[in-house]
Structure 1
Amino acid sequence: MVRAFAGVMLIGLLCAGCATEPAVTPPPKQQFATPRRVVEMAADAAPSGVLGIVDMTVRGTGIDDGYVYLNSEEDYRDQRNLSIAIPPQAVAAFKERFGAAPEDFFKGKHIHVRGMARRVKISFISNGRVTEKYYYLTHLTAGAPTQITLVP
């Protein structure tokens, strides 16, 4: 009796599904995180990272070892800072797409950046040697210009 009832219900559900139009689920609204939120999430996920889209204004820039950094805070050492790290091999592609060096082009601009943010350990160096002292920064690597979108 239970099997017969389950069979009838299954057939009824299948037929009902054929008789109506399929439900269309709208895509989820894109979620943007603030730099501070990304820094918190990356710290919580360490040593792994967090994938997402950050909404930020570039308040500072810098270059170190060929990397270009776009910072959410004027002082990159600020614990709330999120640095967008553009690797040396990608800098030329950014210059080509945006028409200027990324450290100049993005300064003061509002951007969305898609990628993986990770907490990075930065060791202090004294007399050319790494010391036991360190601090953390949060970096999101943008290896392609398509990861950054200008916000009007």
Structure 2
Amino acid sequence: MRVALLLPFLLLSVGCAHQSRVNAPMAPGWITPAEAVHAANDDPQRGISGTFVFTVKNVDVTEHRLYLNSERDYRHQLALNVSLDASQREALQAQLGVPVERLVNRRVLVQGTARRTTIDFITDGKPTGKYYFQTQLKVSDPRRVRFAP
């Protein structure tokens, strides 16, 4: 009878212990993309400052900007998008020792401030009135980007 009463408790205890090992905490002070998005939404003006940690899922290079994205789709609502001026590409590659295209699936640390940014949909060079929000971390110094241990 006692075993029958203790069995559900023991099973729940084992399940909880397993759960805590699976979800190992990040190093103190590192901010995940989900935490950055939530904090930037809570305070769109100031955003959140600190050291952000994420795995680069996509690198996008345009004429003017270089993006390191925490999601394959930069429009994903939980994406953290690091933005550098395209002229910083060489300096970033020198800093990290690899071409930017080889950053996919690499974990990085980035220091700065993540803010909620409004992205307008454009048609024929004019805003359509439709938009979405993106969490961006604009970096002016490539030395603020490094590989995570």
The normalised TM-score by structure 2 is 0.75
1:93 alignment partner, SS class: helix
- For 1:66 and 1:143, locate their aligned partners in 2 and report how far apart those are by CA, in whole Å: 13
Tell whether the 8 Å contact from 1:32 to 1:55 is kept in structure 2 after alignment: yes
The aligned residue for residue 87 of structure 2 is 89
Identify if the C-alpha distance between structure 1 residues 96 and 149 changes in structure 2 by more than 3 Å, giving closer, same or farther: closer
- Report the aligned-residue RMSD: 1.6
Question: CA shift at 1:97, angstroms?
Answer: 2.3
Question: CA shift at 1:144, angstroms?
Answer: 1.6
Question: CA shift at 1:100, angstroms?
Answer: 3.9
Question: CA shift at 1:105, angstroms?
Answer: 3.1
1:71 aligns with 2:53: no
The aligned residue for residue 128 of structure 1 is 125
| Percent of aligned positions that are identical | 31
- Which consecutive aligned stretches of 4+ in structure 1 deviate over 3 angstroms post-superposition? none
Gaps of 5+ in 1: 1-28
- For 1:128 and 1:145, locate their aligned partners in 2 and report how far apart those are by CA, in whole Å: 31
The aligned residue for residue 32 of structure 2 is 34
Gaps of 5+ in 2: 1-26
- For 2:66 and 2:123, locate their aligned partners in 1 and report how far apart those are by CA, in whole Å: 24
The aligned residue for residue 57 of structure 1 is 55
* Bigger-Rg structure (1/2): 1
Question: CA shift at 1:30, angstroms?
Answer: 4.5
- For 1:90 and 1:49, locate their aligned partners in 2 and report how far apart those are by CA, in whole Å: 24
Question: CA shift at 1:90, angstroms?
Answer: 1.9
Tell whether the 8 Å contact from 1:98 to 1:105 is kept in structure 2 after alignment: no
1:105 to 97, 102, 105: 102
Question: CA shift at 1:52, angstroms?
Answer: 0.9
Tell whether the 8 Å contact from 1:53 to 1:113 is kept in structure 2 after alignment: yes
- For 1:96 and 1:147, locate their aligned partners in 2 and report how far apart those are by CA, in whole Å: 13
The normalised TM-score by structure 1 is 0.74
- For 2:141 and 2:104, locate their aligned partners in 1 and report how far apart those are by CA, in whole Å: 18
Tell whether the 8 Å contact from 1:61 to 1:68 is kept in structure 2 after alignment: yes
- For 1:53 and 1:96, locate their aligned partners in 2 and report how far apart those are by CA, in whole Å: 21
Query: Given residue 41 of structure 2, which amino acid in structure 1 is its aligned partner?
Result: A
Question: CA shift at 1:72, angstroms?
Answer: 0.5
